[in-house]
Each structure stands twice: as structure tokens, then as C-alpha cells.
A and B are shown apart, each in its own frame.
Chain A
């Protein structure tokens, strides 16, 4: 639809990389259709809130963002989408400050819905086509790197997780579509692509598994580098590690351990044990000694004893994660863990999560310090007051001074010192010209 008068659209995104990617794709859609991208304070005509429901906290945040946006953008069409829209569809539909509630499977068609609304048609989200891969390759983005979605959904049914209920069964995007999307995203000028999905290790299109697809992605011509969004530790085969020798594939994995106790892992219905995780980490570090592993840990899972928690601390020390996303276990209604016995008091969960946080900071400092004196290729994400900032190959945040530094350019930087407070550390360096 060509709009007579330029309509203004604002986006708010909560949650994971996949959600961010889907927002970016919608930004591309709306701007190609002639909408102007504005902040939600700047009187938009449409506000799209892409919600998250992974924890109670995310629900809370999503709810408050919805009411805040609806209050600030008073006359705007408010579209609520994302995982919370699936999990609490009826409740959200009954809210007066929301115009449309669009489930994940129909998210890619929000432009059609909004266009129809402005043309005076009576539109209902349930009439939109269901296609989780219909997104356009990202052209205009809120970020420097662009994600490409290769997979959606999950049927692992980990006992704590609501995702299989809100994202549906595991489905994989056909290889040809993925490669085409990579090509277009590179043509659109992105220098870094993040391979994303809900459980990407479970990718499967005919005989093509995750690592086969990754090998093909790396062979797409062009000047770009590839990152992998978070990965479950049991989804890939023995050739995966070798792929990281490819200069395009960045040496970092967010490999979700969740717990260092085999007993807890079983109660979580995670299908690997600590020994298998150890094997993977050892294989990688035998070839790439400074490989960066980050992880997710859930503390205070029902029944977690002191001993089991102690095993998690040991695992964190052993695997040297440079960053840990710590989640205090919180009940998600409708998951199996809700009905497990021995839920722990909040106080215990808080104490344990603080211990993990302290270890995580120690690990981060040691890991960052080990890069001082080395050089990294840094993709610049922001330039402010003559200081460029971005991430090196290992996903370490780096800042450096360079006259005329440009966003979205890659610079070689020699790392000189660690700065910033502990948790928000970064490495400061100088450009190697």
C-alpha cells in the first residue's frame, strides 16, 4: 500500500535475539512500505510491542511496556505480538488499550493487518496467513548486525520452559531460503550475521543438519562474519568444531548448560550430562585455546540441594564461561516444573544467584585480561565523541579512538587495558592502521 500521508511507526522489543530479528524484519517491511520509523514518545500512528514470556519477570516487563506505550502513544494503533501474545492471548484481547493481538505464527504479516486497518477494512489478526519464515531479509535495522532465522519452535519440553507452548513444534526453514536470505542480507550491507532460531541445533531439512547448513552459509560469497545465537549442548555432530576454523565463523558460543548437576539436569529433562558438555568444551579448546563460551544457568530449580548447586559452581569454574546469564528459577504456569516437589525459598535462590554472579564476574575479568596485548577485528556499532565501540571476534566489547571511525566498519584493534566496572568491563585499545 502506498500511503498518502506518511504514517509513523514505533517498535518496542523484549526478550531474545529471535524477537529482535523479527522486529528488525518488520522495521524493513514498514519502511519499505513508506512508514516513518519513530520513537514511541514521538506520536506514532502505530506501535508494535514484540513481547516475551520466558520468565515471570519478562511477563511483568512486557505488561508494563504495553501499558506505558499505550499511555504515551494515546491515539496510536497498538499491536501486541510475541510469545506473551500466544501465552495470554484471550486476556490481552480483552484489554481496551490494545488494538490487535497477533500470535507469533502470524507476526510476519503485521504490515498487511495495519495497512488494512488504515484503509478502513475490518481486519482480524486470525485471518492473517501463518508462516514463521515469511520475514523479508533485514534491510533497515535497529542494529548493526542482522540475524537470519533458520528454525522456529522446539519440542524438547524441558520441564521449566514455556517456549514449546508459545512457539510450537520445531520447524526448519528450507536450505535454499536460508541461503537466499543470507545473500540478500549481505547485499543489504550487513557485515555480521547471527544465525538464529529457537533451538537451532535441531535444524533439519531433508538430510541437511545444522552443521551442514552452517558449512553452506560460510561458503556464501561476500565480506561478512557469522555468529551463532544460543545453542543447546546436544544438537550437533562431530564436524561442528572443525567449522570454526573458517575465518567467517566467530569463536564464540552461548552453550546453555543450565546446571552443573546431572541430577538437576534430569529433573529439567535436559538430554545431556556434564561429562558430555565437558567433552564439547574440551574439543573446542584443544583446537581454539581462547574460544569464548558463555552460558545460561538456572539457580534454585525445584529440589536443587546444596550439593547439586556446588556442582554447578564447580562446572562454572571448570568451563570458564566468560559470561553467565543467571536466571533465578521462577514458576511458569503450565510447565512440568510447576508441579515438581521441593520448590526453594526465594532467599536461597537469591543467595545462590549472587554466588554465581560473583564467579561470572571473576571469570569475565580473567578472560578479558587474557586478551590484553592481542589484536581483534572489531565491528563498530557506535561512534560517540570520537570513541568507537563494538565487538571483537570473541564477542568481547571493545572501545578505541579513531578519527573518522564509521559505524558498520571492521577495524583491527590492539587491546591495551580493561576498563569499566567489573560486570560491564570492556577492553580499550588502539586501532592498528
Chain B
């Protein structure tokens, strides 16, 4: 989150026109932008600002490294400052984009070798979609914690055997309850790499569970949204 006073980008090259908006649920949507000059590593995030506004927020990139467009997945936060404004935007409006930022995600050369468990709450699934679309042969398991089935954003894209949906408010998922409840029941190979993304409370609880199962913190990477 930042005020838009960066000195290191020419304004014209950081303005991106909205090409498409996909409404995924009542309050979650994705925005597609041209990829233009953008080179990023799957897992990284960008900052988005509304041209003419004075605030911006960070969003993980939802699309793969080699795709034609840059896509982000956004959930409107009730009483939030930025997301209600973002949600009102129409195709053709300009967004100010900076980045890519961050060390979270896949190191080149690692994806083909390792075993990965991706753990996401809500829109925290975004960087994992980017990784999976970039590395289609990656050996992964994706554990996604949401409240209701409708928040299983684009879940049809993942191989059924690799995707576990945990729904805490209804019995519609593969597991009924919080993802941390599911995590407690799991066993993983000792050399598994874990990537966690979402809110800090889920990440804290998941870290404790994984450490309790004997995994070292060095095997676990986190991206905290809030």
C-alpha cells in the first residue's frame, strides 16, 4: 500500500488499460491488463493504483509468466478503501501498475525438481495459480481454505487429485472446516517445500502445525496479505 509518489517510473509507461473484468463471485473479480513490458517471476506481486487516485495496494499476479495478459484476482473488502473503488471500474479505465515485487514464488529450475504443497486462504490462491500455469508439470498439492464453495476461484483449472477445498461455513468442500484442521490430518514427504499465502493468522497456525510435524522453517515460505 503506498501513496503514488514513486520516482523511478515514467508515468506513461506505468499506466495500463483494463482489458477485461471477470466476475467470479458476488464480491470477487479478476482484472486483465496488457502485459506490455512486464517480466515477472510467478509468485511475485504488483502494486495497483487508480489513475487520479492517491493510494495503491499490492496484488499477487494471477496469470502465468508466459501468458499474453497480466491478471489479478481481487476480493472486495467490506468497508475497505481501495477495493470498492476498484470494483466500480469499467473496461477501458487506466490503472497505474508498479513492480513486480517480492521474493515469494518459484526460483527458476526449482519447479521441475521439488515436491510442493501450496496452502492458501481466500484470494491467497493467486500466486499459486500463476506458478501452476507457468510450470504445468510441477508436482504440487494445493490446499485452499475458504468460507463457501463459490470462493473456489477457477478451481476447475486444477487437477482434481491435486486440489483440496476446505470450506469452513458449509459442507460443500472436500473438507468441512478450516484448512488448518485439514492440515493436521495430512502427512507429507520430508523433503516437501511449503508455500503459504493469505492472512497472517492462518499462516501462523499453519506454520505451527508444519513445525509440529517436524518441518524446518527453511522449507516454508510465506506471503502475508494482511
Contact = CB atoms under 8 A, between A and B. Distances in A.
Contact of B226 (A273, A276, A336): A336
Nearest to A338: B1
A104 B7 contact: yes
Interface in B48-94: 55, 58, 81
Interface string B22-65: 00000000000000000000000000000000010010000000
A395 interface: no
Contacts of A87: 3, 5
A334 B8 contact: no
A262 B204 contact: yes
A338 B2 CA distance: 11
Contacts, number: 60
B136 interface: no
Interface string A270-299: 011101100000000000000000000000
B7 A105 contact: yes
Contacts of B99: 155
11 contacts: A87-B3, A103-B7, A155-B99, A157-B58, A169-B101, A263-B200, A263-B204, A266-B200, A334-B3, A338-B1, A340-B226
Interface in A238-283: 262-263, 266-267, 269, 271-273, 275-276
Contact of A273 (B1, B3, B207): B207
Q: Contact residue range for chain A?
A: 20 to 34
Given A263-B204, A266-B203, A334 B1 contact: yes
A333 interface: yes
Contacts of B207: 262, 273
Interface in B183-226: 200, 203-204, 207, 217-218, 222, 224, 226
A130 B6 CA distance: 12
Shortest Cβ-Cβ A-B pairs, 9 listed: A266-B200, A155-B101, A334-B3, A165-B2, A168-B8, A336-B1, A105-B7, A269-B224, A267-B200
A410 to B, nearest CB: 39
A342 to B, nearest CB: 12
A271 B222 contact: yes
Interface string A86-118: 110100000000000001110000000000000
Nearest to B203: A266
Interface residues of B, number: 23
A267 B199 CA distance: 9
B102 interface: yes
B102 A155 contact: yes
Contacts of A271: 103, 222
Given A155-B101, A157-B58, A164-B2, A266 B7 contact: no
Contact of B3 (A165, A266, A336, A339): A165
A339 B81 contact: yes
A339 B80 CA distance: 9
Nearest to B208: A262
A72 to B, nearest CB: 30
B224 A266 contact: yes
A273 B5 CA distance: 32
- Identify the interface centre among A104, A155, A168: most chain B CB within 10 Å of its CB: A155
Given A165-B5, A266-B200, A273 B217 contact: yes
Given A89-B5, A340-B226, 11 more contacts: A130-B8, A157-B102, A165-B6, A168-B8, A262-B207, A263-B200, A266-B203, A273-B217, A334-B1, A335-B2, A336-B1
Contact of B6 (A168, A272, A333, A338): A168
Nearest to A171: B8
A86 B7 contact: yes
Contacts of B2: 164-165, 334-335
